[in-house]
Amino acid sequence: MSKILIADSGATKTDWLFCHNGEKKYVNTPGFNPYFVNVSDITKIIKDAFAPLNIKEIDQLFFYGADCDGELSQQKISQGLKNYFSINDFHIEGDLLGSARALCGDKSGVCCILGTGSNACLYDGEKIIKSVGGLGYILGDEGSGAYLGRLLVRRVLNRRLSDNLLDKFFKEYSLTPALILDQVYSPNRSSHFLSSLTHFLKENSNDSEIKEIIQQNFDDFIKEHILILPNYKQHKINSVGSIGFYFKDFFIQSCKNKGLEVGEIIEKPIDLLYQFHVNNS
């Protein structure tokens, strides 16, 4: 049987699934956003992860990655992978198409990524009709972990939270306002730092002030990403990613507030992507 390798690569990490003769192996590596890594970085990470498993010969590779829609980005990812793998059939697509294929298969729907970053699209069961977002944490990413962290940090620094919550926050992270600003404005680290603060929001999600932050995150996402898609009310709203998954009750509530029907909400698409390609081989 064919040796198939599938990758789902986000801003933070990449999930890999290798299958041969019915046996599956899962591998995790850092994310391969082409804006932040070079070819040699990709090759080294791949070699370190896959050489111990003796995985090098691949019949089919399907790579879905953040910011991998453009030709230059695809070339960078392709070269980095081909420097290590011997591949017969090679496909690189954006992570939004991968999410749509995992969530909807050959059916239409609205598909969202709600992880470190965020975006959304209308999918017709074969291709993306229109996509929204993908602007990054500076210009957008409503609904994401980075945006959640930004909402939290703004309230922390402006002391717009109760003293009890502020004390818990500074104690848990051993941060000061100056250290927070240093992290936020450090190149290439900001979105990861902001996303890391979602743990605090999850731990304190029963607090009314924290609930307000989380709900605002998804309300803003619906407004900026979903309500501008054509015929959005005719489709179920599906989501992939840790933020949508672990804060699903808040996401569902934001959808219901706008009269939207929720479909699938999953954390990781890798197994469903594998099934999609098996079904369409």
Task: Tell me the pLDDT tens digit for each residue of 142-168.
Answer: 999 999 999 999 999 999 999 999 999
Residue 145 lies in a domain: no
Residue 68 lies in a domain: yes
Residue 39 lies in a domain: yes
Provide the whole-model pTM.
Answer: 0.89
Q: How far apart are CA 217 and CA 237, in angstroms?
A: 16
Domain that includes residue 32, residue range = 4-99+270-279
Q: How many domains does the chain have?
A: 1
Number of Cβ within a 10 Å radius of residue 261 = 12
Q: How far apart are CA 155 and CA 65, in angstroms?
A: 32
- Residue 36 confidence (pLDDT): 78
Which of these ranges, 104-118, 125-139, 250-264, has the smallest mean pLDDT? 125-139
Residue 254 lies in a domain: no
| Sheet with 128-133, edge to edge strand ranges | 128-133, 118-123, 109-114, 237-240, 262-266
Residue 58 lies in a domain: yes
Residue 9 lies in a domain: yes
Residue 19 lies in a domain: yes
Mean pLDDT for the stretch of residues 118-123? 94
Alpha carbon 256 to chain centroid, angstroms: 23
Residue 240 lies in a domain: no
Domain at 274, CATH number:
3.30.420.40
